[in-house]
């Protein structure tokens, strides 16, 4: 049946969303979120996760067409469900405080848990904090941040890799010895840490799982994106000394020191669990 679906990307009036065929292959009505209960959950409400999202919607492909993207809802919200179950709240940031761009075409419409946490944090997604203001104020906050979370979606490649403010936040997180959590295309945002001085990139020698460049090279053929990618984040990370462990997507996750990564939406549940467990020291 899926073979009969169109592989032509769907025009949204400005750019293109994935084709019906692509959605049939990669967008699910319900996730595998497993409602894990965490013993010894955090009870200190001052301890929070700093979530860095994109505020940019459209990625211009090599052919000039625009891909309608943002942060992937499954890769954003399923890990948040686990982290919330482990007792942690969130402060959501974008570079300037503009609304978070979410790939709503990928929303699992029959998943009540995912829809519930989106509604719970809707005001923060619509009116997030400003990363620029956070940095300008000396990285001071009323919250004690125990981790930085970089959700996936191709939107993680927009605005974040070249952000000087995110550069400062990443280096601050390393100095503070707190966890960095990044899933799918989320590790693209780690490139910000090489801005100005690639020799000081803190994740040289680390191993990660993430969405492979090889698959990004294949997705135009099925209309997931409307043209060839403008650039590939994996090769840039590898040049900085990062080893990407996976060549395909299987739901693989990996922890290397204080860096937790997952390869795709398939990894969202296990990535959330792994993140929650390391933060709880279990």
- Say yes or no to pLDDT of 225 above 70: yes
Residue (of 185, 189, 192) closest to 267 by Cα position? 185
Fold of 2-29+42-279: Rossmann fold (3.40.50)
- Specify the pLDDT at position 3: 56
What is the rounded distance in angstroms from the CA atom of residue 24 to the CA atom of residue 22?
Answer: 5
- Say yes or no to pLDDT of 239 above 90: yes
What is the rounded distance in angstroms from the CA atom of residue 132 to the CA atom of residue 124?
Answer: 16
Categorize the per-residue pLDDT at 76 as very low, low, confident or very high, splitting at 50, 70 and 90. very high
The rounded percent of the chain whose pLDDT value lies above 70 is 99
Average pLDDT over every residue of 194-214 = 94
Count of C-beta atoms within a 10 Å radius of residue 17:
22
Average pLDDT over every residue of 77-82 = 98
Model confidence pLDDT, tens digit, residues 157-200: 999 999 999 999 999 999 999 999 999 999 999 999 998 888 89
- Say yes or no to pLDDT of 149 above 80: yes
- Specify the pLDDT at position 196: 81
Categorize the per-residue pLDDT at 74 as very low, low, confident or very high, splitting at 50, 70 and 90. very high
- Specify the pLDDT at position 197: 81
Q: Which spans in 121-232 are helix H?
A: 122-126, 131-136, 164-175, 213-218
Compute the mean pLDDT over every residue in the chain, rounded to the nearest whole number.
97
Average pLDDT over every residue of 91-118 = 98
Q: Which are the catalytic amino acids?
A: 184
- Say yes or no to pLDDT of 10 above 50: yes
Categorize the per-residue pLDDT at 2 as very low, low, confident or very high, splitting at 50, 70 and 90. very low
- Specify the pLDDT at position 199: 84
pTM (global) more than 0.95: yes
What is the rounded distance in angstroms from the CA atom of residue 87 to the CA atom of residue 167?
Answer: 28
- Specify the pLDDT at position 1: 45
Model confidence pLDDT, tens digit, residues 28-67: 999 999 999 999 999 999 999 999 999 999 999 999 999 9
- Say yes or no to pLDDT of 128 above 50: yes
Average pLDDT over every residue of 110-138 = 98
What is the rounded distance in angstroms from the CA atom of residue 123 to the CA atom of residue 1?
Answer: 39
What is the rounded distance in angstroms from the CA atom of residue 90 to the CA atom of residue 84?
Answer: 8
């Amino acid at each position: 049946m899926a073979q009969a679906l169109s592989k032509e990307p769907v025009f949204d009036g400005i750019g293109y969303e994935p084709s019906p065929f692509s959605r049939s292959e990669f967008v699910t009505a319900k996730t595998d979120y497993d409602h894990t209960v965490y013993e010894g959950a955090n009870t200190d409400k001052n301890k929070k996760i700093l979530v860095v999202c994109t505020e940019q919607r459209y990625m211009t492909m090599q052919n000039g067409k625009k891909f309608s993207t943002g942060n992937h809802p499954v890769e954003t919200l399923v890990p948040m469900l686990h982290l919330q179950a482990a007792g942690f709240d969130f402060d959501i940031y974008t570079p300037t405080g503009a609304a978070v761009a979410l790939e709503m075409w990928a929303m699992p419409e029959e998943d009540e848990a995912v829809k519930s946490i989106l509604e719970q944090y809707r005001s923060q997604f619509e009116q997030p904090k400003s990363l620029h203001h956070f940095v300008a104020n000396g990285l001071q906050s009323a919250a004690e941040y125990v981790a930085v979370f970089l959700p996936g979606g191709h939107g993680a490649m927009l605005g974040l890799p070249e952000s000087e403010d995110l550069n400062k936040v990443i280096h601050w997180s390393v100095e503070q010895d707190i966890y960095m959590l990044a899933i799918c295309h989320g590790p693209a945002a780690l490139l910000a840490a090489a801005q100005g001085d690639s020799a000081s990139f803190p994740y040289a020698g680390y191993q990660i799982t993430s969405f492979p460049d090889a698959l990004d090279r294949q997705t135009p053929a099925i209309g997931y994106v409307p043209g060839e990618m403008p650039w590939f984040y994996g090769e840039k990370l590898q040049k900085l000394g990062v080893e990407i462990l996976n060549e395909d997507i299987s739901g693989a996750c990996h922890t290397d020191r204080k860096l937790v990564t997952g390869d795709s939406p398939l990894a969202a549940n296990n990535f959330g669990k792994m993140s929650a467990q390391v933060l709880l020291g279990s």
